[in-house]
Each structure stands twice: as structure tokens, then as C-alpha cells.
Structure 1
Amino acid sequence: MSKSKDQGGGAAPALLKKLCCKITGLPETDVQPYLQFAYKLLGSHAGIPVEADEFQVSEKIRRKLIRRGREKDAVTFAELHRKLQSQGLVKNRWAILHLLFLLSENTRDKSSSSLFGRGLPKFATSTPFNAGSGLRRPFTAPPSTDTARTPSQQSIDTTASSGISSIHGDIRSNEPTPVPQSFLPSTTYVSLDGERSHRHGPVSRVVGAVSRHDPGSDSAVVPRSSRQTIKVQSDNTSFEIPETELVRDLVYVFQGIEGKWVRFDASKDGYKVDPQAGIPKAIRQLVSKLAECGWLFNKVKNYVETRCADKTFGLVGQSFCAALQQELTEYYRLIAVLESQLQEELDQGIDMVSQGSVTLRRLVVWTFDPLIRLKTLAALVDVCKGKKGGALASSIYSYMQHGDPFVKSLIRHILTMVSQPIYATLLRWIYDGELQDTHDEFFVAADPTVKNDRLWHDKYTLRKSMIPAFITTDQARRILLTGKSINFLRQVCQDRTPTKGREVAMAIDMSQAEWMFMQDQNNNFLNMVDTVYKETSRHLLDVLHSKYKFMDHLKAMRRYLLLGQGDFIRHLMDLLEEDLAKPASNLYLHNLSGILETAIRGTNAQFDDSDILKRLDVRLLEVSPGDTGWDVFSLDYHVDGPIRTVFTPECMIMYLRVFNFLWRAKRMEYVLALIWKNQIFNSKLLKTIPELSKVLHQCHMLGSEMVHFIQQTQYYISFEVLECSWHELLGKVREAEDLDCVIAAHEVFLDTVITRCLLDEQSRGILTQLRTIFDLIIDFQQAQDSFYQTAQHELLARQHYTKLQKQRTSQGDWAVTEEMEEEERHRRVDFLKSVIPSTRAKMAVLAQSYQDMVQQFLVMVTKHQDVSLRFLSFRLDFNEHYKDKEPKLYSPQGFTRAKRVT
């Protein structure tokens, strides 16, 4: 075993021969029969309960040594076994281990040759063990003087399992069979005497001839005479059935037809030998095994006949049926050869034991490959029941991972035929945008009822259940977008530029459909899909940017609906101030439209493209009782054509919501600017009335708080929300590979603005609090304006009194009379007692209400999940003015830190 691999093939027989000589005590010249039986043990399962699992055999040996108290030997055996596995010189190690185990059981027998004496036929088979390959192959027996060998002594091992993987993994060679593989057997067989014969209808692969030793049957080896006839016994009679009848029955069964002795048992769903016939158990098992071909044939044939008659099965299903029918046609050729040979033997009276004659044993060999193919086809039929289109292709593709190259080549051939309709439909879709899918087999679905304005969003979708397993989700999405882009260009953009590379792709042979499921071996399909996808998407985006000026419209949304054009918005507010202060029911749309045109002509907005300015308009929202013009006024932007695909009606509603919020915030900024201007003007005007200084100071303090709040809020909205989101949007639009990326980026932009502007469902409470603060600012403006109006009346009255004094003095009269002085004093006392205290009380209530609202707003914002909003609360209360008055603003971390400091 320690020799090199190239010497392993010659060393193993020599070592085995020495082992036989040592056990039997015979010289090398007389040990030949026992050597042949050793070959049988190493190369066959027959007659010996061999565990085909190396691990099980090694464990059995180790446990046996431990039971006998030989723990050290068990450890030594485990170490030697590990070294044997690591060298890899011997493939069929479990057979050698089993032989050693049997030898160890017979060491207690005085006769060292008892192992080889039991069950050894006089005509020992000649199937040597090939240690290099681990497979049983035809072997020419060495000449022997004591035993005559004839072709009739050739037999095969029928103990192979019924599973697809187990059968071909045990006997067949590992060379892949080209597809489609003919069911015809090869034209060569090997007899035991070493002669090769050529005949019409020989075996496809001849396994080493092994005599079956079955202790439970009547005979361990079928003798020559029993190969011609089989005895059938009943209660009172005994007669013989020629083996030819069973062979002929099996040829019928291969075609799904019942024979004389082999009939179909519906209760067991299989073919069964007549129980009244006294056929030996071994022969019954052999016939049952052969009859499996007929059962599998019926299964596949019934599926083909049923599905071929189904008109709704689709092109993929029909291709699958055609592939199955092609395999059945190959199977028919084998049946034809067998029938021809049987008929030839009957006509010529050839003996059953002659070379090339059709026997049960030879049928096993000849139907070995067809049985594997039929099992594979039957498994496909089972897994494909109730499926069609891409789902059917996915089920077949799951068998492509089979480890046997024979089965894998068969699956590859069938999958190539099945995927051709999918491949043809895919090519027409990605190059022409045509979808010919009558039976809903393709993974792209179309809704013909959808109009062009919703073509991109609703007309074409992915039918996920029909996406083949060999096409990834990302590839399916790109295929969908490619065809959808072509249809969008043609039907919406009116662009019929042909797709680049279409002529080359349409000339591709449909047999290259295997590119789709062989992507692990070549990138042809992946490169084709990526190339067409990038070319088509790039052309669509170029048309949108150049012909339909998408970026200009996007920037117009930012400038007008999101208040990015500052000079225009300020001038518009100045022009609309008087009209919007009126009740909403008194507004007229044509008057507001005229004011809008005036604002455009008076600002830099006049230099925008005329097409953009024509789309800008005024819109009045739904009027509620008590609303003013400020509550219902809104700007609108009309979109149509291809750009409507991006600026959908849903998106425009979101733009209007954001505009309404920004308009309110801008109005607060505008109002506070007026408040500050009035405060500066009246502080100088009313300085002659010293009694008003405390009220003026109170107004200045409250106004400053409001200005700080609105300035920080406006900074947050303008920069952290709009500018940052707008910058991200532009970057994504420039890097977009397709229109879907542009739409997704635009929707993310709107969602971000909606969320950070407190317009989503989760921020409804905070928005209500903010609007309450806005209302308090309006109340403050009205209260201050009312106070200033009263104070100015008082100032005018005092100025008039002073002027009257000067006038009377200039005329030579007393400046004032006692009555005039008393009247002036009473007027001033009434002013000081009525106006100033009530105004101060009103301002105090407004200040307290405002501070309470701001504190609650800060508490709610501090708990918000958005980081920028939480940072807004810090800027609004940077000096902790509100934090000292509201304990809820103290975070647990801040409280703990303060406690540690104290």
C-alpha cells in the first residue's frame, strides 16, 4: 500500500495472492480458485452481507477489538486506517476492510481454508478487483485446468439499488454520455473464456460476471440446464416455462403491455409476476427489477400524451414534452432491437445459452443505461406536475446539480430544449420590446388596460413565480427594465431608434439558450443582458434630459414649490399681503394669477425658460370656515408627457403639502420682520410717553424669543432638510443607470422632506404643536398692532394738547384753562388705568402661552428618532432658558452627570 500510485494496480493482486497463500497454506500454483473467490469478495456484493460504508466496517472492527480487551490494537488499527485514507491509493477500501474482518472471524477455525471452501463454486467467476479505479470491469480469467468455462457461465450482479444515484454510481464508468444518448446497447460483450464477440443487440456496458450466491433460494448458482427453462410448480402438477417466455413477456412490459406471466398490479402500482407460478425467488426479483423499465416508461408516456393534448400548457411545456418524446424514441429503438433479436432466435432455433442470446441476465445489462434514463425522466415528470413556463424550467434546473455526469448531461439536453422558448421570448423583449406570451409562461407580465401615462409604473411587472432559478432577481429586474424602456421610448417619447446589436442577437442560434443556465461556466448571457440594459437605459435618460429637459423641470420644482427662489417668494408675499389677509371666500383666482405674473416680471424668475413659466400657476386649496387667504393659497406646477412619469400626481400632492408647510413658515418669518420693524419705529415714536416703556420692553422680549425660534426653524428647514436632501438627489440623478433609479431617488427625496418637515404620520403631534406656535405669533402681531394703534392715538392727543398750548400762548391767552387741564388729566389717567394694564396682561398671557408651547415642542422634538430634529431642540434652547423651566427636558444622562458634580 505504500507504493506509488502507478504501481498500485499491479501490487494489489500480488499482495492478495500472497495473502491467500498464507491463509490456505497452499503454493501459488494451487491457490488460483481461492484467489478467484477473493476477487469476488472484493469486487461484488453477491452472497455476502457487505456493508458498503467504510466507516461502519472500520467501527465494527474497532469495537470487536475492544470487546476482546485489545484496546491498544484498536488504537493501532484506527491510526493505520487514518493513514490508509490519507494516501488515497486504494479507492475501494471498505471491501478490503470487510475481507480482513471475515479473515479475523475464521482465525479460530483449525482449517485455515474454511473461508474459501464455503460457497465457492467449481466455476469461480473471473472478476478481479481493480484497486486503481474502485470499479468492477470485464476481466479475462486466467486459464484453468480443472474447470471448463463457457459463455453460459457469464452472469451479473443484480443486487443494485433502485435509486438513480446508487445504480449508476456502483457499476457504470464515470465518462459522461453525450446527449441525446441512444438507448441502444454497445456492440461488444465479454465472455468468461476471454473471447470478445460482436453481434446485433449486445450489451452497452458489461459488468464483471459474478455468480449470485443466494442462501435463501433453491440454488446458489443457476446451472446450464436451468438457463433454458424455469420450473413452475403448482399443487398437483410440475411443468417447465421456457426462459424465452419470460424474456418475451418483459419485452412487452418494456412497452407498457402486460405479458402472460408478468401483469400490472393496480393495488401496488407496479408489475408483478404471477404468484401461482413456482418461479424461484431470485428469478422473481430479477423479473421485477426488469419490469421497472415498463412502469417508468408508462409514467413518462402518459405524461407526454396528457400534456401534448393540453393547449394551455404553453411553449415551454411543449418543448419539455418534445424532449421527453425524443428520449422515448431512443428507447423504442432498444425495444425494436430486442424484438428483432428474439424473432431471429426463434426463427433460427438458437439455444438460449449461445453467445449473444437474449437472457434475463443479459437484459439487466442491456437495460442498465435505459433504466437510469427512464428513472431520471420519471423524476422530472413528478417534479414538473402542475407547473409550466419558468417554474417548470426551474424544477428541471434543480437536477443540474446532480453529481453523476451521465444524468447531468441528460438534464442539460432537456433543459436546453425547454429553455429555448424562454430565450426566444427574452430576446424579442429586450431588443424589440415585444411580449408574445399567450399562456403566461414568461416572467414579465403586461397589462394591456393600462394607459401610456402609467406605462412605466403599472403596465409591466415581474411574475416572480415564473422567474427561472438560473436567472437571478437582479437579472430579471434588468430584463424587465430593458423591455419597458423600449416601450416607453416608443409609446410615450415617440422615439423609435433601433436597439444597438439587435441584428447580431436575432441571428443567434436558439441552441445557445444554454447560456442562461450555464452562467457558472461562461458570461455570455450576463454580458448580453448587461450590455442591452445599459445601452437602452442610457438612451432613455439622454432623451429625457435633452428633449424633455427633465433637470430644468426638477430645478423649477425646487425654486418655486420648495421656495428656493428667495427674491421671487419675498416679492410675491409683498404683493399678496393685502389680498391674502382677506377671508378665503373673497379671493378670486384670476386676480391672484395676475399678481403671480407681476411677481415673475419683477424678479429674476423672468429669465427662466418660457416653457417652465407657463407651467407655473396659482391654486386655491379647499376652504374651511374661518380660513384666510394665507391658509388656502398655493403655487402649482403643471406636468405632462414623459416627465409625468417622475412627477406623478402623488408626487405633486406631496409637493403641495411641503409648499403649504414652507409657506406658513415663510409667513412667520415675514410677520416677525414686520413686528420687528414696527417695534423699532414705535420705540422711537413713543419715547415721549415714559409710561409705555415697560410694555414696549415686554413686547421686545417676546418678539425676540419668537424671532430666535423662527430663525432656527427656518435654518433647519432650508439647509438641513431641503439643501442636504437636494444635494443627495442631484448626485443620485447624475449617477442613475436607468429611469427606475431616477424615480426612486426622487421619491426618497420627497419622503425625506416630508419626514423632516414633520408632515408624516409619526410627527403629526409635533406639527400640531408647531402650528399652535405659529398661531401665537399671529396673535402677538395682532395684539401688538392694536397696542401701537392705541398708543399712537394717545401720542397724537398729547401732541394736539401741546400744540394747542403753543397756539393759545402765541395769541396772548393763557396756555390752558382749568377746564382744559382737568380734561387732559382725566384722559391720561384713563389711558394709564385701562390701556397699559390690559396690554401688559395680554402680553404676559401670550408670553406664558408661547413659552409653554415651545417647551412642549422641545420635549417632543427631543424624543424624535431623527437626529437632525433632536439637534434642532439643542439650537432652540442653546442657553437652557427653557430647560430650567421644564424638568422633562433633562435627559437621564444629564441628570446623572449633574448629580455626580453636586
Structure 2
Amino acid sequence: MSRSHSREGGSSSATPALVKRLCCRVTKLPENEVQPYLQLAYKLLASSSSLPVDNDEFQVSERIRKQLVRRGREKDAATFAELHRKLQTQGLVKNRWAVLHVLKSISESEARHARDKSTSLLFGQGLPAYATSTPFNAAAQRRLMPGPGSHEHHGGTPSIHSIDTTGSSGISSIHGDIRSNDPTPVPQSFLPGTTFASVDGDKTHRHAAMSRLVGAVSRRDTESSSAVVPRGGRSTVKAQGENTSFEIPETELVRDLVYVFQGIEGKWVHFDPSKDGYKVDAQAGIPKAIRQLVSKLAECGWLFNKVKNYVETRSADKTFGLVGQSFCAALQQELTEYYRLIAVLESQIQDEVDQGIGLATHGSITLRRLVVWTFDPLIRLKTLAALVDVCKGKKGGALASTIYSYMQHGDPFVKSLIKHILTMVSQPIYATLLRWIYDGELEDTHDEFFVAADPTVKNDRLWHDKYSLRKSMIPAYITTDQARRILLTGKSINFLRQVCQDRTPTPGREMAMAFDMSQAEWMFTQDQSNNFQDMIDKVYKETSRHLLDVLHAKYKFMDHLKAMRRYLLLGQGDFIRHLMDLLEEDLAKPASNLYLHNLTGILETAIRGTNAQFDDSDILKRLDVRLLEVSPGDTGWDVFSLDYHVDGPIRTVFTPECMIMYLRVFNFLWRAKRMEYVLALIWKNQIFNSKLLESLPELSRILHQCHILGSEMVHFIQQTQYYISFEVLECSWHELLGKVREAEDLDCVIAAHQVFLDTVITRCLLDEQSRHDDSRGRVTYQGILTQLRTIFDLIIDFQQAQDAFYETAQHELLARQHYAKLQRQRTSEGDWGITEAMEEEERARRVEFLKTVIPSTRAKMAVLAQSYQDMVQQFLVMVTSHQDVSLRFLSFRLDFNEHYKAREPQLYGTPGNMRAKRLT
């Protein structure tokens, strides 16, 4: 209790000192002279009746600012406006209007005290004390200023406040303190013989004494008060030398302009549809300078109408969306602030009418003061009207982008206005973005958000087709990479929930949803802070990592990927070799004679007989046999294929398109593996028959020819198989594994897998460029893939031709062996070994063999060898000029001893051989 009491006592005792310091700071007086103001401050603080009835912070702040401008302290007025704006944004002080009123009252008391002490000095300067004025309270003015009819004398100089100006009118109204001996000419309005039209139409008496006191009125104001047509009549020109002109009272013009500010036509100022603007009545007696001034002031009304019509039209449009409605709300807020200014002006005019104050009095509303008071509102209205023009026909993110383009403005006042509007416009985008990246929910009825959803897409294509970026709606302050990450984050959440059946909440969701909507400013102030980028990166990485963990742990993505490599890309060597041995007899049959269940049984036998049996049962269940479309003349080798069934989330990576690519690669590899298998059989038959047919010297040249052609084919297939197995599959597989391990999201995995397949397809000559015909100059080549398949076909033809030759040779060998055996048998029996008929028959048979079989076989082998070499040469020419570097190096290995180069002149002109030739 004692401590609390001491604190309260200390606070109360410190209050007078703080008030005294405040008075010294405001008045800039020493402590010994500030006592009168200190007493005034105590009165203001102690009595609530001293506060104004209209406790409006806007009005008080505007009075202070305009009062500073009136005293020639424009910089201080700008500083005050900025500090007041910052004070409003902080929200620390609740009764700001009361604090501002106290400071204003102390300042006015100090000003009055200084004015009383130096009236003669002010009059000696000959300048108006108040060049401009903010709207004021008439009763307060009467308390602060001498009323009409009173006189103050300082050094014998009269005050202008003592002059009754209730009958004066026009732009050249007299105000401020006036020096009596100012050389400025007397305005024509105040010369003898001039009459004035009052507000009610009555004419006032002449003011002869006025000519002695208007020296301080400016020459421009004097000229602006030249007479024109009186209200309700036309000008009458009399004899030369007489001043019979009349003018419209300035009070009526001011009242008309207040109406025009609200978009309403006045008595003398009307809207001209042909010129799309307000125009002063041509019959009104108003000088040209005043007409221009009125037209300039009427621009506020035109701009106000433009903005108001846009708000009314778009607010009623239900398809404008949340972003558009936020834009209308921001515009309406600015119009509300503008309404407050209009209300203050109307209140001031009404007070002047009630109190009978004329335009010449100190602080009354004039056209030139309206110019000052509407300076800032005019800038704001111009900015709003420009936004309305450029935002027509736009909504959503496109609307936000258009507004954001005005943020790069050099005027801090305009930039602050745009920032406020953009904050409100961005709030619906920010709210939708939060729900998307944390909940995966997309509520975009009017297609304003930059993420679009297609509800007709099923879950199996959710990742690829359901969600996409609507590029036209991406706000300019959100980069493409950020938009992509936002899309992936929400898409990952939906994929987890709808496909993977995983509803784990996103970390940090509760904190993010509790964010203040004012933080939408983060999006377009990224040059000042990284809050938005950090938030996007954090939720993107956490969501993507969780999705990849689910795919690897729950759905065994890597196991399935390795199964594709082992079985469809022939990586399981023992399994593939054993399967080929088991299928050799069946696949040699016509394709129409194959039965799927027989092939499936052989597949299961191959699995049980190799290391494939140790794989996961789920993977082995997915492995199956598939028969391709049968064409006339196809054998089982042409239509047989392995298949791997995928479903669930992994189907997102192994799409049907990818599986088709796997089948194409498998058929190519299977064909190449078959060539390796066939050449192995060819070599085995050559070794066996070379020893078996040694007794037939006539066949030595054919056997040598078969050995040479077989060696060429073996070399070609071995180099091709090495290229496919190591340079294509193994290198691409290693890159794929590295990318999958480093992937940040599922899109990276899908992209890496697609790059892997594209690389394999291209380097295995299965792409469109390798499949189509290629024309170079006068020579037209078939596609490089067709060329390779022709080589494979020639190997099959060589196998068949060699097998047929070996069969015929073996028959000949058996016949000769039988003849020799018969001869030995007859000799052992004591008979002649052979008879003349037997010898003649044997000789005729051998001659027939030498004349028919050997020449035809040699010719057939020569044709095969020549065709093979021609195909290989053309293949080398095409491969050497291929864009892929690894394929060009394949040509060097295939022709390492330049055997084909010596036969094909075109190989000399290829870039690779030209470089090799220069090196040699």
C-alpha cells in the first residue's frame, strides 16, 4: 500500500512539472514567462467544459495544420501531418483529439500574446496575418478575436478587425492585418459608385471609407473583384468612364463549389456533358481569372463523381469478387474521409450565415482558401481516379498487380495512399493463400486466385491435371518461383489427403491462421522484409518433405523404381538370360500361336530359378507378361514383353505415358539382348562345325567367310550393348538416383524420372528424330533406328543362312561318312569296296554338291556380308553426325581400326573423323 501510494504521489507531483515543460516547449518561452500559459493549461485540463463539442480528431488536426500553413510554416505543417499519421497507426494514445486540442489551445494563446505585444510590428510589415485558414468555429473565433465594431490601437495604427465588412463580397475580400499606407491600388470594387449584390439580392450602400483601409489587399485579388453580371440579370454597360459592372458574390461561388465537390450542380456552376466537366454559367458576371479558379476547384467534383460511380457500379456487381469488393471498400474509405472535409466546409458556411460573417472577415471561406484546403484531397482524388481508369475490366490478382504498379511512385504521399489501398486489396488474396498452403482448401468462386482447380479430374490425375497456375492472376509482387511453390504446397496437401489418405496437420497452421490480416502487406513489401518468403519456404519444405517421406516409407517408391530397372530395363542379368533360354522355343513360333497363360507360367519358373525370387512379394506380383499387337509375319520375339502393374500414389510418377516409354525401351533392349543371344549361338555353332567339317576342305572358304562375318557382327553387338548398358542405362540411372535423393518435392522426382526416360529414349535411338527419315543432300537415308533394326534383321538372316548351310554340310558329311563306312564294311566282308555304279553315284552326288550348294551358299554369304557392311557404314555416317556426344563416340568404337572408314568416303567428311584425321 505504501509503495503504491508513493508511486501515485510521485506521479501526481510530477504532473505540474511535466505540464510546465510542455508549455515551455510549445511556447518556446523561459520558465519565468510561461506562467499565464501554464494557468490556461490547468484550466483546460481541469474543466471538461473547455473542450469543444465537436470532439473530432480530424477537424482538430486539420485546424492545426492549416494554422501552421497560415503562419507560413509549411514544412512544420507537413511534419505535423506525418507525425499525426504515425500516431494514429501506433494506437498508443486513445484520446488523441483531446491532446491535440490542448496543444492547439496553448499555441493559440501564445500566438495571441505575441500578437498583442507586437501589433505595430505586424502592421509595419504590411502582410496579411492569415494568408490561409482552415475551417474554424465561429464562436471560438469571437472569443479569440475582437468582434466587429471594436478597435485596437497599437502605436496609433488601426486594426482591420475593427472594420465592418458584412456588406463586402467578391474574391478580393479583405482579411488579415493591413497597413494604412500600403501603395497597392484600391480595388475597383471599393471605388465610389460601385454597388454589390448581396446574398439575398439587396444592394448595399457605398463604402467611401473603405478606400483608405484596403492597402494590404493584393493586386491579384483587386483584379479578381472586377465587376460582372449580377445574380439573376445581365450586365448593363453605360457611358464610358462609369463603373456600372456587377459581380457574383463570392459566398455564392463558394456555396456552389461545396455542392460541386459532392457531385451536385450549383446555381452558377453546371455540369457540361459535351465537355465531360463542370463549367461556370456563361451569363454569370465572373472575371476570367475567377472562372479559371472555379474550374480548377470544380475538378474535385468531377474526380469525386468518377470514383463514386465506379464504386457504386462495381459494388453491385456480384461477379467482381472479393478482391474487387475490397478495392471498392478502400475507395469508399477514401470517399468517407473526403465527406468529412465537405461536412466541415458546410458547417463553416452555415456558421458564417448564422453569425452574419462576411467574406472580408478574418478566417472566412474564400476561393483561394478552398484551393489550399482542397490541395491534398485533389491529389488523393486524382490518384483514385487514375486507379479507377487502369483497373477497369480487371479483377483478382490482375487488379492487385495494376495497383501495385503505382507503388513505385516518388511522392511519399501518393505512395502511402496506394499502400493503404493495396493492403486492403491484398487481404482476400492473402487469406485464400493461407488456407491453400495450410489446409489445401481453395474457395475461389470468381476465379480471382492464381491457383485454379478442375473438379472434373479424378484422383489418379490429381497431381498432373487438377491444379494449375492461372498466370494472368499472379500478382506482380509474387514471383513465378513463389507462385510455383505455393501451388506445390497446396497440391501436396490435397495429394496426401485424397490419394495417400494421410491427414497429418501442417506444422504451424494454428499460428499462421491467427495472423493479422494486416500482414498481407508482407507480400508487396518483400524488398523491405523476408517474412513472406520465409513463410512460403518453411511450409513448402515441410509439406513436400512429409509427402516424400510417405511415398518412400509407406508406398516403397524406391523399391518400385529399382524393380523397373531390374526387370523392364534388363538389369537382372541372370533372370533375363534364364527367361530367354526358357522362352526360346515358344518365341520362335508365329505370334498367333502364343498363349498368355503358357508365357506367364514360364515367367514364374524363371523367377523361381534365379535371384529374382528373393524380391518383395508385392513387387513380384506386379510383374507380368504382355503381348503386343500382332502383325502378319510376326514371331513371338516381336510381340513378347514384360509388364509391371502400378497403382495408388506411385502411379503419379509411373504414369501410363511413362509405362509406354518403359515398354518401348524394353522391346529395344530385348531385341538387342536377343542379338547377343543369337550371336552366342552362332559362335558356338561355328566352333562346333569348324571341327566337325574339317574333313570337307571344299567348305573352308565358306567357313572362313562365316567366321569373318560373325566376328564383325559380334564386335558390333558387343560395342552396342556396352554403350546401351553402361553409357546409357547406368549413367542415366546414377543421375536419377542422385536427383531423387536431393529432390525437394514430388515435382522434382517426377521431372528427374521423366528426364531419365527421355535420355534413355534418345540415346537408344527411340525418339522421333531417330525414327523419321533423314535427307542429306542427294542421298536419302532411313531413320537411324530403322537402320539399326535392319542390322539386327541381317544378323537373324545370317543365323538362318548359316544354320541352313551347316545342316546341308552335315548331310554331305554324313553321306560321305556313310559311303566310307559302306566301303569298309564291304572290304571286311571280302568283297570289293565299291562297285562302279556306287562310285559313279557318289561322284555325281559330290559334283552336284560342289556345283549347287557351295556356290549358292558362298553367294548368299557374300550378299549378307555386303548388305551388312553397307548398313553398318550408313549407320556410322548417321551416328557420327548425331547431336548426342555419346553416340558420336560409339562410332569411334565401332570403327576403331577404320575398317569401314576405308570403304565409305563419307566418313572422311564427318566432324569427328576430321578431328581424328588432324590428330593423326
What aligned pairs does 1:111-510 form with structure 2 within 5 A after superposition? 175=82, 178=85, 192=127, 194=129, 200-201=135-136, 221-222=218-219, 231-232=228-229, 234=234, 236=236, 238-510=245-517
The TM-score, its normalising length taken from structure 1, stands at 0.77
Q: Distance in 2 between matches of 1:633 and 1:804?
A: 49
- The one-letter code of the counterpart of 1:178 is R
Name the structure 2 match of 1:14.
none
Name the structure 2 match of 1:821.
839
Structure 2 runs not aligned, ≥5 long: 1-67, 90-96, 112-121, 139-175, 179-183, 190-216, 238-244, 772-782
| Residue number among 540, 557, 582 corresponding to 1:533 in the alignment | 540
Q: Distance in 2 between matches of 1:260 and 1:408?
A: 37
- The one-letter code of the counterpart of 1:581 is A
What aligned pairs does 1:734-749 form with structure 2 within 5 A after superposition? 734-749=741-756
Retained in 2: the 8 A contact 1:228–1:353?
no
What aligned pairs does 1:101-120 form with structure 2 within 5 A after superposition? none
Q: Secondary structure at the match of 1:634?
A: strand
Name the structure 1 match of 2:21.
none
The count of corresponding residues between Structure 1 and Structure 2 is: 735
Q: Distance in 2 between matches of 1:783 and 1:760?
A: 32
> How far apart are 1:443 and its partner, in Å?
0.6
- The one-letter code of the counterpart of 1:665 is A
What aligned pairs does 1:796-835 form with structure 2 within 5 A after superposition? 796-835=814-853
Retained in 1: the 8 A contact 2:435–2:441?
yes
| Residue number among 690, 707, 713 corresponding to 2:714 in the alignment | 707
Q: Secondary structure at the match of 2:404?
A: helix
Name the structure 2 match of 1:72.
none
Structure 1 vs Structure 2: percent identity of aligned residues?
84
Q: Secondary structure at the match of 1:240?
A: coil
Retained in 2: the 8 A contact 1:180–1:413?
no
- The one-letter code of the counterpart of 2:850 is L
Retained in 2: the 8 A contact 1:373–1:407?
yes
Q: Distance in 2 between matches of 1:550 and 1:840?
A: 56
> How far apart are 1:222 and its partner, in Å?
4.7
| Residue number among 599, 610, 625 corresponding to 1:603 in the alignment | 610
Q: Distance in 2 between matches of 1:842 and 1:568?
A: 36
Instruction: Map Cα deviations across residues 527-547 of structure 1 (whole Å, 9 max, x no partner).
Output: 111000000000000000000
Q: Distance in 1 between matches of 2:761 and 2:820?
A: 59
Which range is displaced more, 237-246 or 266-275?
A: 237-246
Q: Distance in 1 between matches of 2:825 and 2:188?
A: 154
Q: Secondary structure at the match of 2:282?
A: coil
Q: Distance in 2 between matches of 1:895 and 1:781?
A: 33
Q: Secondary structure at the match of 1:178?
A: helix
- The one-letter code of the counterpart of 2:889 is F
Shift in CA distance, 767/354, structure 1 to aligned 2, threshold 3 Å = same
Instruction: Map Cα deviations across residues 820-868 of structure 1 (whole Å, 9 max, x no partner).
Output: 2222222222211111111111100110111111111111111111111
Q: Secondary structure at the match of 2:318?
A: coil
Q: Secondary structure at the match of 1:655?
A: helix
- The one-letter code of the counterpart of 1:771 is R
Retained in 2: the 8 A contact 1:179–1:410?
no
Q: Distance in 2 between matches of 1:567 and 1:840?
A: 38
- The one-letter code of the counterpart of 2:700 is S
Instruction: Map Cα deviations across residues 168-215 of structure 1 (whole Å, 9 max, x no partner).
Output: 9x9999958738999x99989999455799975499xxxxx9x9xx9x
Q: Secondary structure at the match of 1:418?
A: helix
Shift in CA distance, 743/202, structure 1 to aligned 2, threshold 3 Å = farther
Q: Distance in 1 between matches of 2:224 and 2:137?
A: 18
Q: Distance in 2 between matches of 1:900 and 1:193?
A: 97
Shift in CA distance, 174/678, structure 1 to aligned 2, threshold 3 Å = farther
Retained in 2: the 8 A contact 1:316–1:419?
yes
Retained in 1: the 8 A contact 2:908–2:914?
no
| Aligned alpha-carbon RMSD (Å) | 3.3
Retained in 1: the 8 A contact 2:641–2:667?
yes
> How far apart are 1:228 and its partner, in Å?
7.7
Name the structure 2 match of 1:151.
none
> How far apart are 1:235 and its partner, in Å?
5.4
Q: Distance in 1 between matches of 2:571 and 2:821?
A: 52
Instruction: Map Cα deviations across residues 438-476 of structure 1 (whole Å, 9 max, x no partner).
Output: 111111111111000000001111111111111111011
Instruction: Map Cα deviations across residues 473-511 of structure 1 (whole Å, 9 max, x no partner).
Output: 101110110000000000000000010001111111111
| Residue number among 517, 521, 527 corresponding to 2:524 in the alignment | 517
Q: Does 1:783 align with 2:795?
A: no
> How far apart are 1:411 and its partner, in Å?
1.0
Q: Does 1:671 align with 2:678?
A: yes
Q: Secondary structure at the match of 1:617?
A: strand
Q: Secondary structure at the match of 2:643?
A: strand
> How far apart are 1:816 and its partner, in Å?
2.2
> How far apart are 1:670 and its partner, in Å?
0.5
> How far apart are 1:809 and its partner, in Å?
2.4
| Residue number among 899, 903, 917 corresponding to 1:885 in the alignment | 903
- The one-letter code of the counterpart of 2:300 is C
Q: Distance in 1 between matches of 2:337 and 2:357?
A: 27
Q: Distance in 2 between matches of 1:898 and 1:763?
A: 25
Shift in CA distance, 232/197, structure 1 to aligned 2, threshold 3 Å = closer
What aligned pairs does 1:588-667 form with structure 2 within 5 A after superposition? 588-667=595-674
Q: Distance in 2 between matches of 1:475 and 1:502?
A: 19
Q: Distance in 1 between matches of 2:453 and 2:564?
A: 32
- The one-letter code of the counterpart of 1:500 is P
Retained in 2: the 8 A contact 1:562–1:662?
yes
Q: Secondary structure at the match of 2:720?
A: helix
Q: Secondary structure at the match of 1:337?
A: helix
- The one-letter code of the counterpart of 2:795 is I
Name the structure 2 match of 1:579.
586
